[in-house]
Structure 1
Amino acid sequence: MTRAWATLWTRSQAAAADRHTIVDLGTPSPVLMERAALCCAREALAMRGDLPVWALCGPGNNGGDGVAVARILHGWGVPARAFLLSERLSPELAQQVALAEKLGVRIDRGLPPGQEEAVIVDAMLGTGAAPPLRQPFVAAVAWANAHPGPKLAIDIPTGIDADTGAAPGPVFAADRTVTFVRSKPGLHVTPGRAAAGEVVVADIGIVSQDMSNETCLIDPVEVARTIAGLRPGSHKGERGHVGIVGGSAGTPGAAVLAGAAALRAGAGLVTIATDDREVQAQLLAHRPELMVQPRGAEPVPAAKVLVVGPGLVREADRAGLAALWLEDRRPAVWDASALAEIAVRSPMPRVITPHPAEAARLLSARTGESWTAARVQADRPLAARSLATVTGAVVVLKGEGTLVAEGARLGVCVSGGPALATAGSGDCLAGVIAALLGRGLSPWAAATAGVHVHGVAGERLVVGAVALDIADAIAAVLAAPEETHPRFPRRVLG
């Protein structure tokens, strides 16, 4: 079962939980602010060494958190100051400023002078603010990023959209972010996740009436338990037979990579359906464990699961795929050039694995709107969910922080690294997901477990590794799946 703090809250869900806790349940807002500030102060204390702590404070409650952090640290004997960046103060912030000044905390206006190294606390805007930034926050973010010292963000780094991860302007580059009760999609979705640093989820007693978990991180604990539940199979037939429709002249390796990854992910049998002699030669040279047969009207009739698309760059090789999408009842992973043959929703169990440019082409064709890769990247959750709606498939939107969508449901992958940015990596991913489908997982479970395993395999390699290295690393990840991951939030109580 997914851990509670794997659930992600949008800004509207977070605001609704705040209102319910304060208005309906009667918890005073200053109590919540104090609990939040205590959690942040502990993190700043752990980061500071012997450095002072400077909180850059905006005009609202996030700024109030920052002033409270400075006050708490001052009470612990830590040199701490708060810098107010706006003339306007919310009532909660004004209350915190008055209390801090009574206790001897230095409160300044504007940005700190000089270049003294310090822990910089981003208490500027918080989850409720949507970018792009305006002054004085543009200048404050630029100053903070150029200033020496560790960086701590409260709730979300300034400049990141909490719902989408979009960053249409300058962004506070945090080493650590403390967010409250539940993490936010923008801390884990590209490009926002690159600015969040380590994410800490502080439970400060905010209660939500919304028990939905439509948007979640893919939890390493759940993936490990899913993998542990796979039957090992007493013979190869019990671990599933994967058929691969792929490989063209000039790109035979894609089908080979998908097949190799499927074998490493536990498929008992893998057959590539091709009439191309070059693909057949690649099989003999690199993976004699793979089988080959002519494609025929029904590709690999004995297969339990299909992978469709790796390396099918010639239009002639994609003949008949539109009917296969609609009519073949077997679970299937559709990838690469085969995505261009999707014309309607399929009622069959399907997983599609587009990269942003492929997603944009498919969305443009299916929605009548103009989608570009840049538009996809600007709101990756919307793009993934829209694709799931128009195709009827489980969508794996590849990229840093891969997303998995099924209807309105969204999973965000925490694993992955730069070694995955290599030709053939996506073919390996398709093979892994297909193998897990063949071993009995649902499309959603196979996709979420597959992207996590593929990501961890990539993390164990260095830049310069090739796709076959990724395929070969997959078996070790599946043999001993870890229940922890450095990008999965650490939970603290406050």
Structure 2
Amino acid sequence: MGPATLRDPFCFILAGRGGGAPSGRSVLEWPVQDLLTPRQMALADRLAVDGGIASLTLMENAGQAVAYEVTQRFPLQPVLVLCGPGNNGGDGFVVARLLSERGWPVRVGATCAKSDLSGDAAMMARMWTGPVERIGSETWGDFGIIVDALFGSGLSRDIEGELADLVAAINASAGHVVAIDIPSGIDGETGAVRGTAIEADLTVTFFRHKPGHLLYPGARFCGDVLLADIGIPDSVLDELNITLHENDPHLWSLPRRRADGHKFDAGNCVVISGDNLHTGAARLSAWGAVRAGAGLVTLAGNAPALMVHAAHVTAIMLETCDDGAALAEMLEDRRKNCVVLGPGLGVGEPARQMVLAALASAAAVVLDADALTSFAERPTALFEAIRQRDGRSTVMTPHMGEFARLFGAGGGAKTEKAISAAGISGAVILLKGADTVIAHPEGRAVINTTGTPLLATAGAGDVLAGLIGGLLAQHMPAFEAACAAAYIHGRAAQAHGRPGMIADDLPAMVPAILADLAVAFD
């Protein structure tokens, strides 16, 4: 008879990323989009203990969650549990004990002797009655499963020397790797690799995700990420001053059309075109704005460019606009309430004048690509023009290269960079990438997780700029519009899901995503 599976009515999986929720477990139905830094997570633990929950109970529940996932996902096979000197190691001792009690062959290695452990980790180590071997860089034989309980999300130093050799041996092994909290070597706050890191197939974390689970390169090391409730009450969140979230439809509401509304109620998004040899990017943005639901979309540019557009579009309006003065005059019509500049615009003084004219208007403004690069040598002029808008919606959508031209390369977490840039510029910053970060000038930010490698294709960012513009035209606030557009953009690529996807494919996928969201959140 095989080993019994773990049964615990208390420990539920809240959310899964990658592999989803495992069979046989309950999935709790409420938003879990708060992200906690390691320091905030440590405070959450302390607040739970101060509220009467024993710290040993929290550790037991954490180990129980990991052991359960092992028994549910894998057949009976040898397990190696590698324990570090802190609470992460304590969790590992719980996993080893629970699996061993259920008949799994378990071997435990530790970076220190049992006698060197303290606190809850020492208590859990004493409850493990099997041998504990000191681990170095040697190969540990054949194990079907390796449980990484070396270091948690609070790792504050690089992994070097023999431990680095151990990580290399684990990564070279054929075993399935299950990480407790976060793969050892990944900074839980920034997602950075601290020297080297374990490549996990599954990560089980607790209470709330950490930024390092979502930010690259850390996200690449986590494998499937499951979030377990270990008994920390949600009430502790009120004391954590959380400013970082995972992008989620619970954070924003999409515009709704009134039964008696007309097209101008849904706004008129103007997209500024490049010259006649550079029209494609602006057209992609225009299609993004149309599919996002803007009541009207206008492509504006010089006459030769409009002749090219006229051969390609029907539902999009065309209007002549040769320079910044002409744009300023166009935007005196308050019905044109949003303008997207940058895709295919060209770099230089004419582009700068267009941008400054748009920023001087009452319209919401999306600045992308060439609109940003045109201010690479004069970023303060751009920021001053944005700050003079007195809070009128402005969104900047740089990739990392464009970001560096305006704000400098700098170090630190991507979230910190985006939040700092938003504060400096006064604009909402959407810093693109596999882990797109959207930051508000007031200091809050989200990390978008709907991205896919399919979006690494020319023109995808132009569609994103248009999606933002289409939502802004419908009077969505700038931060919410940027968050929603990033989420929808990724979902559209996921819905296409096939190699060979090009940016032109994305706008047509958007209506189905909007319909799904309308049903899910009606």
Q: 1:90 aligns with which of 106, 118, 127?
A: 118
Q: Deviations over 1:438-494 (max 9, x none)?
A: 12211111111110000011112323211110122112211223999xxxxxxxxxx
With structure 1 as the length reference, what TM-score do the two structures score?
A: 0.88
The aligned amino acid for 2:288 is: A
CA-to-aligned-CA distance 1:267-323 (integer Å, 9 cap, x gap): 22111121151x323312322322221221424534121111111124243141353
- The structure with higher relative contact order (CA 8 Å, sep 6+) is 1
2:128 is matched with 100
1:71 equivalent among 97, 101, 109: 97
Matches within 5 A, 1:14-25: 14-22=41-49, 24-25=50-51
| Residues 1:9 and 2:36 aligned together | yes
Deviation at 1:55, TM superposition (A): 1.2
- Give 1:214's aligned residue: 243
1:237 to 264, 271, 274: 264
Aligned residues: 466
Q: Do residues 270 (structure 1) and 305 (structure 2) align?
A: no
Which residue identity lines up with residue 478 of structure 1 in the other structure?
L
2:486 maps to 451
Q: In the alignment, what sits opposite 1:134?
A: 160
- In the alignment, structure 1 segments of 5+ residues that lack a partner are 365-370, 485-494
Q: State the distance in 2 between where 1:139 and 1:179 align.
A: 25
**Alpha-carbon shift at residue 19 of structure 1 (Å):** 2.3
Judge conservation of contact 1:5–1:201 (CA < 8 Å) in 2: no
Distance 1:308 1:270 in 2: 13
1:328 and 2:361 correspond: yes
Structure 1 residue 14: Cα displacement:
1.1
Q: Distance in 2 between matches of 1:233 and 1:394?
A: 32
Do the aligned partners of residues 379 and 482 (structure 1) sit closer, same or farther apart at CA in structure 2, a change above 3 Å counting?
Answer: farther
Q: Please give the residue correspondences for 1:244-255 in structure 2 after superposition, counting only pairs within 5 Å.
A: 244-255=271-282
Q: TM-score normalised to the size of structure 2? A: 0.84
Q: Structure 2: 5+ residue runs without aligned partners?
A: 1-28, 376-381
Rate the CA distance shift 1:168–1:65 in 2: closer, same or farther, 3 A.
Answer: closer
The answer to whether structure 1 residue 34 and structure 2 residue 90 are counterparts is no
The Cα shift of 1:76 comes to 1.6
Measure the CA separation in 1 of the matches of 2:369 and 2:259: 30
Q: 2:420 aligns with which of 374, 386, 400?
A: 386
- Aligned: 1:110 with 2:135: yes
**Judging changes above 3 Å, is the alpha-carbon distance between structure 1 residues 319 and 32 closer, same or farther for their aligned structure 2 residues?**
closer
Aligned to 2:448: 413
Which stretch of structure 1 is more off in the superposition, 268-277 or 62-71? 268-277
Aligned to 2:12: none
1:333·1:351 contact (CA, 8 Å) conserved in 2?
A: yes
Q: Secondary structure at the match of 2:445?
A: strand
1:329 and 1:349 in contact (8 A); partners too: no
| Residue correspondence of structure 1 range 132-211 to structure 2 within 5 A | 132-207=158-233, 208=236, 210-211=239-240
The answer to whether 1:435 aligns with 2:470 is yes
CA distance in 2, matches of 1:138, 1:4: 37
CA displacement, residues 71-128 of structure 1 (integer Å, 9 cap, x when unaligned): 0111122222221123443343332222111xxx343221674542411111111022
Distance verdict in 2 for CA 1:319–1:66, change over 3 Å: closer
Q: Map Cα deviations across residues 361-385 of structure 1 (whole Å, 9 max, x no partner).
A: 1113xxxxxx26xx4xx52011100
| Secondary structure of 1:270's aligned partner | strand
Q: Is the 8 A contact 1:453 1:477 kept in 2?
A: yes
Distance verdict in 2 for CA 1:95–1:168, change over 3 Å: closer
Kindly indicate whether the alpha-carbon contact (under 8 Å) linking 2:186 and 2:197 is maintained by their aligned counterparts in 1: yes
Match for 1:405: what amino acid? A
Find the counterpart in structure 1 of residue 336 from structure 2. Answer: 303
Q: Structure 1 residues 3, 391: CA separation in 2 closer, same or farther (over 3 Å shift)?
A: farther
Once residues 246 and 126 of structure 1 are traced to their aligned partners in structure 2, the CA distance between those partners, rounded to angstroms, is 50
Change beyond 3 A, Cα 1:155–1:114: closer
SS of residue matched to 1:171: coil
> Counterpart of 1:490?
none
Kindly indicate whether residue 287 of structure 2 is the aligned counterpart of residue 260 of structure 1: yes
Task: Indicate conservation of the 8 Å contact 1:187/1:193, yes or no.
Answer: yes
What SS does structure 2 have at the residue aligned with 1:5? Answer: coil
What does residue 430 of structure 2 align with? 396
**For the aligned residues, what is the CA RMSD?**
2.3
Aligned to 2:502: 466
Q: Provide the rounded CA distance (Å) in 1 between the counterparts of 2:460 and 2:73.
A: 36
Q: CA deviation at 1:221?
A: 4.7
Conservation of the 8 A alpha-carbon contact between 2:44 and 2:240:
no
Q: For residue 425 of structure 1, what is the aligned residue in structure 2?
A: 460
Alpha-carbon contact 2:327-2:357 (below 8 Å) kept: no
Q: Which amino acid aligns with 1:479?
A: A
- CA–CA distance in structure 2, aligned partners of residues 268 and 306 of structure 1: 14
Separation in structure 1 between the aligned mates of residue 185 and residue 311 of structure 2, nearest angstrom:
51
Q: 1:267 to 1:228 in 2, by over 3 A?
A: closer
Change in CA separation of 1:444 and 1:419 when aligned onto 2, cut-off 3 Å: same
Which deviates more, 8-17 or 473-482? 473-482
> Secondary structure, in 3 states, of the residue corresponding to 2:517?
coil
Structure 1 residues 18, 7: closer, same or farther in 2, change over 3 A? same
Equivalent in the alignment of 1:282: 308
Asked if the contact 1:248/1:317 (under 8 Å) is kept, the reply is no
- Range with greater deviation from structure 2 (445-454 or 92-101): 92-101
Q: Which consecutive aligned stretches of 4+ in structure 1 deviate over 3 angstroms post-superposition?
A: 111-115, 220-223, 227-235, 299-302
Distance 1:79 1:113 in 2: 18
How far apart are residue 325 of structure 1 and its match? 5.2
Match of 1:353 among 393, 397, 414: 397
Distance 1:221 1:386 in 2: 25
* Percentage of identical aligned residues: 35
